[in-house]
A and B are shown apart, each in its own frame.
Chain A
């Protein structure tokens, strides 16, 4: 039972354009959502998070949007840079601001084309 789904295994975007990565979840108990980025041979690194009481959170080039009614969130990267090429994981927690027991999606491999 995949509670957090990333239906696009891969995405290619031209440098300078916007990258949009999508994530859907099924468990309405999830209260906090995070995005992680992973380079080969490294552990995942935190990018940005959003609480269920918000619908948008922005940090520099990265913006996360949350649509609770649709159980959908997205990560926008603009402008995309070659260093953004990585695997991106969406994750969800049942607790407000919580980092316990994160449930991860299967990841989307983003490739930025110079």
Chain B
């Protein structure tokens, strides 16, 4: 079993919809939780990060961490075609080695 599980998708939604992306994990030592966005032929870029449990909001993006369920989510409100990309969850027990999910391909239909 992988330490981090992520539904690979692809996920296709109409423009303006709310998108929910999720990951589960098995290592209770994870403390840092991140979401990266990767466009085609580019490297991943950090979207959001949270430390321990709770919610964090940044514009149209909200990250949630539920450590008791070992479950993290990223919500995208008012989705735009420019949000079409692969979204990778990532987590770390400390500030160095990061474990990534396999990524979810998201497509926003105009």
| A, B assembled together | no
Chain A positions within 8 Å of B, measured between CB atoms, are none
Chain B positions within 8 Å of A, measured between CB atoms, are none
